[in-house]
Chains A and B, each alone.
Chain A
């Protein structure tokens, strides 16, 4: 089985879907001749042509608007937002049009569209190239929100997203693009949207994470195993709709939960997991539900020491795990 990076897995998924279905096309800033600023679409312009890999103006509202219109006409657009930080101009299109289309037309119209966007910090991107935006969208019924943590899931989930009849937001942990490698089978497969994955089994506490933080949580869990603390790590993968059963089953076993996300703490996605546990796992809890997240400051700082202060990392996660295990 070939090993590839996260970005290669994403590119392969798009390549295969473009080859499989002529209604699939890509639209976004610099996705064509330049191959995307992260090279996610490298080679696809040459392979599929300018009509299927379309360079857009610097206007996110129009990228998503074009995608919605094309989707209503039977196409399957993959919209690329160059950085998740720039998705906000398209917020109205996503929330008011794409999310509600199926519902308000009583199922007569659907928007089979994928919006890809690199997100997250730790890459010295400063305030406008480091944001996490998943909590905004994981609040909106009608959208599906996916964040893969490894190449296998990234490819399988992206292919499933392209084939899904409704709008899917596909946020990619950009710090892991070239950092995270993994085996990806050559044969055709998809990963179902919805189920979380227990990536490491343990009895002492459960850690819920996604994207880059899942990668770090696994590293921290490995360290704690040397201290005889067995951490169960759950990769949420699909944030909306969330896989409650896996979450509740895990906490039923361990009695303790830590949720790690790199977004600002308050109102971040982990708050929802904490609320699910408070409501539905109360009698299973042996410790307060803990969140480890970025501090409540307006952005991920550009200054390197301040960025380190902001970002959760394996050291901070291991410390939080240790404290929770000792409770």
Chain B
């Protein structure tokens, strides 16, 4: 039986991708794991390996076409083999529960997904249709408790609630069409840095022409990405008890260190920036205050063994992305500067791998880029805090009863008051400030 090649979901909130290039022609033989095609999404560019060995029977989605995650891209099988008629459409309409996907993890090959026969759903009321779309529920999996086995509103809500409590919530999916995506492609919670994505929509507006006020009211349908962001923002606000505390740091020592070491690092082809110092200071504080490198789970507080810091990187008009610096606790300032420069460079070139934007345990947002003094960032779930860095400005400050001009910055720490109390948060933030002010 022929095997299908499916558009994977390359990161949370990424629901579609564009086929940029096929590396094989129809009729050519391809080996298992061999790069088969290149795809491009809003977040990353990547190659998709062949799920199996065989002949590329049919390319369903030609290069240059954008399709939703879960869509069938191609069929691989033995020469002359038939392709299942009903499954050759670009978008796969059949429900495919995860247990049917023989794809356990990234290193295992993708196998054919046996289509499950569609169950007679009976009458679908307006609210059931609406909720199924909103909660991304495949109605064929919902047991109906209404008259004649009809699926009721409560059935959908119960199903959605059970799924939410049993497994991490699935990424956003396009309306109506239940899509399949291999289990390994389902990203975990909290991989993207939501506050920065808030700017995503606006950032694409051309800057030269000021927006004209529309003559009449009109509705702009939310894109799946926008909807996912909206959901995640609200989820975070609903989940955590957000409190923000702000402190001021004198960056005199950091500025001097930066000026002295920038040329040295440049010899190693590493561009040293303030960001490396903020990351390093945050890592120091995280080592001392382990509770900030944790997630609240039903069983209790989950302390993460490693410090994985997400740092926002601007993509210009295309918005922002938050690559993760893994094992930041074991990296020197040089290493951090190198990692930041490397991730930033590849982020701008859309070369990040999906795993490089997943698994963060603490986030830093540099809202000072936009001249913001301080902010109240939203926590990136399931993390428990986020550090906002304001604009660095020379200000008159009093030192030993004399007025001095110093490069100053406001640091805003938003923390989850369910886990962390104010005094501890202030201790953490004071530690960051102390580290920055006494940089040697």
Which A residues are within 8 Å of any B CB, using their own CB?
255, 282-287, 326-327
Contact = CB atoms under 8 A, between A and B. Distances in A.
B127 A255 contact: yes
B266 interface: no
Nearest to A284: B127
B31 interface: no
B128 interface: yes
Contact of A284 (B130, B147, B152): B130
Nearest to A256: B153
B147 A285 contact: no
B127 to A, nearest CB: 5
A100 B153 CA distance: 45
B147 A286 contact: no
A204 to B, nearest CB: 8
Contact of B130 (A283, A287, A326, A327): A283
Interface centre among A255, A284, A327 (most CB of B within 10 A): A255
B126 interface: yes
Interface string B101-136: 000000000000000000000000111111000000
A96 to B, nearest CB: 37
A262 to B, nearest CB: 28
Given A282-B126, A283-B126, 9 more contacts: A255-B125, A255-B153, A283-B130, A284-B127, A285-B127, A286-B125, A286-B153, A326-B146, A327-B146
A283 B146 contact: no
A283 B156 CA distance: 14
Interface residues of B, number: 11
Contacts of A327: 146-147, 150, 152
Contacts of A283: 126-127, 129-130
Contacts of B150: 327
Nearest to A251: B127
A252 to B, nearest CB: 9
Contacts of B129: 283
A285 B126 contact: yes
A255 B157 CA distance: 12
A255 B150 CA distance: 14
19 contacts: A255-B153, A282-B126, A284-B126, A284-B130, A285-B125, A285-B126, A285-B127, A286-B125, A286-B126, A286-B127, A286-B128, A286-B152, A286-B153, A287-B125, A326-B146, A326-B147, A327-B146, A327-B150, A327-B152
A326 B130 CA distance: 20
Interface in B148-163: 150, 152-153
Nearest to B156: A286
A154 B126 CA distance: 38
B221 to A, nearest CB: 15
B404 to A, nearest CB: 59
A14 to B, nearest CB: 45
Contacts of B153: 255, 286
A257 to B, nearest CB: 11
A287 B147 CA distance: 10
A320 to B, nearest CB: 14
A59 to B, nearest CB: 51
A276 to B, nearest CB: 15
Interface string B424-435: 000000000000
B315 to A, nearest CB: 36
A326 B152 CA distance: 10
A285 B146 CA distance: 14
Contacts of A287: 125
A139 to B, nearest CB: 28
A205 to B, nearest CB: 11
B152 to A, nearest CB: 6
A274 to B, nearest CB: 15
A89 to B, nearest CB: 45
A282 B130 CA distance: 10
Of listed A282, A287, A326, residue having the most chain B CB within 10 A: A287
Contacts of B152: 286, 327
A283 B125 CA distance: 8
Q: Which of B128, B129, B153 has the most CB of A within 10 A?
A: B153
A14 B256 CA distance: 84
Interface in B381-427: none
B201 to A, nearest CB: 25
B351 to A, nearest CB: 42
Contacts of A282: 126
A273 B149 CA distance: 29
A262 B147 CA distance: 28
B239 to A, nearest CB: 22
Contacts of A286: 125-128, 152-153
Nearest to A254: B153
Chain A CB within 10 A, most for which of B127, B128, B129, B152 = B127
A286 B147 CA distance: 12
Nearest to B134: A283
Contacts of A284: 126-127, 130
Contacts of B147: 326-327
Nearest to A282: B126
Interface centre among A282, A285, A286 (most CB of B within 10 A): A286
A200 to B, nearest CB: 19
A29 to B, nearest CB: 50
A327 B127 CA distance: 13
B290 to A, nearest CB: 42
